[in-house]
Chain A
Amino acid sequence: MPDVGSDEAERERRFQARIDAGEKIEPNDWMPDAYRRQLVRMMSQHAHSEVVGMLPEGNWITRAPSLRRKQTLLAKVQDEAGHGLYLYGAVETLGVAREALIADLLAGRAKYSSIFNYPTLTWADMGAIGWLVDGAAILNQTMLTKCSYGPYARAMVRICKEERFHEKQGYELIAVLARGTPDQRAMAQSALDRWWWPTLQMFGPPDDASTHNEQLLRWRVKQMSNDELRQWFVDLTVPQAREIGLAIPDPELSFDEASGHWRIGPIDWDEFWRVVKGGGTCNRDRIDARQRAHDEGRWVREAAEAYAKKRQA
């Protein structure tokens, strides 16, 4: 009688050996259930974030103050739709249909990056989001291009190529404001004040409080911890703010000569969890908007299928 327990253990050992050898895991390869579940969770959260992320920026397309900014912002939000699409596609390689993923999002069963629960209150927020939020996302995504799961890594390579212009246009946008009229400068500083801390929280809870961290590192899904990524981001971004004359809203911010790192003050994790759990300004607006698009689009999706069916008959 075959020993199922040791069969499973042998499979897991071989799987880990492939990971350790730097091999990519592809959709039809054997993988532990936990690995599959983690990837479905990560990739779908990432996909939902891209799609929900279209809303805070989409909010300002109709008010963009120049033709160039209008087109750039529309192109950026269009890219985000594309990224959502690539990522839903990556989840689908693990056998989960897009319909199910969308149903989970709308029912509140799925998470998306909580940064998008904050409101975009001024035009300068478009700069802050591109510079900070996309800047943070790029670091995470660059790391994920090395992810052990093939389809996710490949989607990340494609996304990283496209993301480069997002961060640049955001930084340029806010830089122009920072050296503009007094009103524009104030607008830029206000945006930085409101988006700095939530962006730092995007990297997730500190390593000692993060449940999935160790396992994801062992499976080479991630290559860096939350805190490492956060520090990387701070070190890149503080000089950028100083370059354009904007102040990071952190009275404890200081440069540590010994390590060469910028040290930040304490992050308010209570606030983070409050927003994640539904207490942000826009949580309900975001899901409401997606629900409406979904509901109002149903007759369209059905019509297209009805047409196709008639042609097959």
Chain B
Amino acid sequence: MNASVEELLALADDRLVLGHRLSEWCGHAPILEEDIALSNVGLDLLGQATRFLELAGEREGRGRSADQLAFLRDPTEFRNCLLVEQPNGDFARTIARQVLFDAAALPELERLARGGDAELAALAAQAAKESRYHARHTRDWFVRLGDGSEESHRRMQAALDFLWPFTAELYAGRGELRAELETLAAQATLELPGDPDFPASGGRRGTHSEHLDHLLSEMQCVARAHPGAQW
């Protein structure tokens, strides 16, 4: 059974938006080695987004290319989760966002890689391989920042507290996420937040926060300024 266009757009948009956010760090990371590492994750995600968009466009059958989907849709047509459109904030918030995203994304990609949609399975398998490496790097940072200095611990806990409500959109049952991250949090001497009264959601329906419009305005401005042009 093949994935729907909506599902493919969700997979694509998560990665397009998150890849874009990570690219904002290039030239501004805490150390040169990290400029390279974050760009690496960003590049992988943008590559994944491109392939998912290509598949979505094919299946949609309206003749829209990956570029047209990326650069000409309005915010309400985007299907990314709210977590990925959150601004980078400090390095702790970026790392927390990545850990939370990969903790959900990896099991989903592995499930799709075993699923009946052959084309999607191939893309998902490749994406899973890359995500495993991303998770290794960002989890290492999660632990180092959580159990590093007082300041890094404080920032990491604050990041986790702030982003936790956004994980609702990524998990069917909250218990899963908790189980997945309990050991990691303990290693990092961090506390997983309690379940929020009002978990954030809406991204999958196109109801985004104000952040997405600013992000897309920047991302799409050159493409939109020259309708029909080749690049």
Contacts and interface: CB of A to CB of B under 8 A. Distances in A.
- Whether the complex brings A and B within 8 Å at their CB atoms is answered yes
Interface string B59-78: 00000001100110000000
Contacts of A84: 32
A304 interface: yes
B187 to A, nearest CB: 11
A216 B28 CA distance: 34
A286 to B, nearest CB: 10
Given A84-B32, A181-B229, A302 B149 contact: yes
A64 B67 CA distance: 11
The interface residues of chain B, by DSSP majority, are classed as helix
A123 B228 CA distance: 16
A139 interface: no
A310 interface: yes
Contacts of A78: 26, 35-36, 39-40, 43
A68 B228 CA distance: 16
A303 B149 contact: yes
A304 B148 CA distance: 6
Interface residues of A, number: 46
Nearest to B22: A74
Contacts of B33: 85
A165 to B, nearest CB: 14
Interface of A: 51, 54-55, 58, 61-71, 74-75, 77-78, 81-82, 84-85, 88, 123, 173, 176, 180-181, 183-184, 289, 292-293, 296-304, 306-307, 310
Interface of B: 20, 23-24, 26-36, 39-40, 42-43, 46-47, 49-50, 53, 66-67, 70-71, 90-91, 143-145, 147-149, 151-152, 155, 218-219, 221-223, 226, 228-231
Closest A-B pairs by Cβ, 9 of them:
A297-B30, A303-B148, A303-B152, A300-B30, A78-B39, A58-B27, A65-B223, A54-B27, A65-B222
